[in-house]
Amino acid sequence: MAYRLAWAFALPAALIRIWWRGGREPGYRRHVAERLGRYGPMQDGRVVWLHAVSVGEARAAFPLIDALRAALPDHVFRLTCTTPAGRDTLAERYGDVARISYLPYDTPSLVHRFLDHAHPEIGIIMETEIWPTLVTACKARDIPLVLANARMSRASARAYARAASLTGPAIAALDAVCAQSRADARRLRCLGAEGVVVAGNLKFDVLPDRAQREAGRALRARLAGRQVLLAASTREGEEAMLLDALSGAGQALVVIVPRHRQRFDEVARLIAATGRRLARRSRGDDPAVPGVQVYLGDTLGEMAFHYGLADVALIGGSFRPLGGQNLIEACAAGVPVVTGPHMFNFADATRQAVRAGAAIQAASTEEAVVRAQALLADPEARKIMGEAGAVFAARHRGATARHVEACLRLLRARV
């Protein structure tokens, strides 16, 4: 009851916040009715529904969606998200074969509108999106729910435990939990989850786009031996930290790819303010032109291109306490990885990558830059780390098959 009352007061503020964010990212002001459970005609067919909050979760879901579409050719797919970037990511890949929309806010009336409209046979929620009202409503309708690619950090587990009267029943109501690691599985069980299996991390099954990677390598060949240091998926405040640490960095081309597109122009202004000569990918600028010092990757969906271009990758989100971003993609592309200290959202994958010799975790931004520059100066060390990364990524593939089996088992039981 307290949770419902809290949402009754929070909903107007949430809508105001969406409109305010739309001033910076116009996508937030589109399809607002969907966030209130208004979707138009009811969806027909036998529906598999998957929810991915934003870009990272959406990309991780790609191999699972592809495998389920192959296993369930008589089903239709409903994909939901929370952010415009997540919606764009899903639409770019599945816009012609799936219905894509926002998930509504977690109030009873809005959740029931969505379920009445989509009437899914099964729901799959990526990673940590456990909404109590949504889970309860699915349980009441006998819609099996899978928590896929599930992760639970120590900090998140403590937060969930403090709200156990609210989160405990929701976690216990999940029909299956496919955890990324044994540590995630243990924490989820302690929070009340049942049907927990260690299925592995779906992100290992996301293969780099071959054409993009080859395009990146072709550009690197045009740089006449100049080395490339990539700052991948950087978050707010990190670009300034990295550029400060890179002052006097020599002749390496620095490639910066911000995580969020609404920051592209802001980061361009920041780079220009340092006096460095900038080339922008969105404008078609050529970074091989003499004198270009920084190449801004201000496009979406081209990380495979940037990893094909890179000699060493610094992983964003890890230089401030933001949890880090996906280092698996860099490892799969055979690029040596250096992270900052804050990789708690990818703690297990980071530990394993470091242990495999594919990554280095530094204690500070300054140390990360020093380690990355040392790698740029050591081709043999780069070769060893890159090969170790490719082996590490290949060894951990296979999560998709385990996730598909969990979903099919629930569908068979429901029938």
The predicted model gives 76-103 an average pLDDT of 95
pLDDT at 10 over 90: no
Name the residues annotated as catalytic.
57
pLDDT at 301 over 70: yes
Q: Using one digit for the tens of pLDDT, what is the confidence trace for 184-205?
A: 999 999 999 999 999 999 999 9
The predicted model gives 317-338 an average pLDDT of 96
Quick count: other Cβ atoms within 10 Å of Cβ 13? 9
Tokens of 308: 């094909």
Amino acid found at 378: D
Arithmetic mean of pLDDT over the chain: 94
Give the pLDDT confidence score for residue 12 in this predicted structure: 87
> Which helix (DSSP H) or strand (DSSP E) does residue 165 occupy?
helix 164-172
Question: Considering the entire predicted model, what is its pTM?
Answer: 0.89
pLDDT at 4 over 90: no
| Half-sphere exposure in the Cβ direction for 298 (13 Å, CA) | 20
CA distance 267 to 250: 21
Q: Using one digit for the tens of pLDDT, what is the confidence trace for 367-389?
A: 999 999 999 999 999 999 999 99
Give the pLDDT confidence score for residue 129 in this predicted structure: 86
Of 3-17, 301-315, 379-393, the least confident = 3-17
CA distance 174 to 195: 8
Tokens of 213: 């990677």
Give the pLDDT confidence score for residue 249 in this predicted structure: 55
Q: How confident is the model at residue 15 (pLDDT cuts 50, 70, 90)?
A: confident
pLDDT at 268 over 70: yes
Who's near 232: CB < 8 A, 6+ residues apart?
257, 303, 306, 307, 310, 313, 314, 315, 316, 325, 330
The domains located in the chain, with CATH, are 32-200+398-414 (3.40.50.11720), 210-395 (3.40.50.2000)
Give the pLDDT confidence score for residue 415 in this predicted structure: 66
Nearest to 187 by CA among 140, 153, 138: 153
Give the pLDDT confidence score for residue 117 in this predicted structure: 95
Give the pLDDT confidence score for residue 1 in this predicted structure: 67
Q: Using one digit for the tens of pLDDT, what is the confidence trace for 229-257?
A: 999 999 999 999 999 999 865 689 999 99
Give the pLDDT confidence score for residue 7 in this predicted structure: 82
Q: How confident is the model at residue 72 (pLDDT cuts 50, 70, 90)?
A: very high
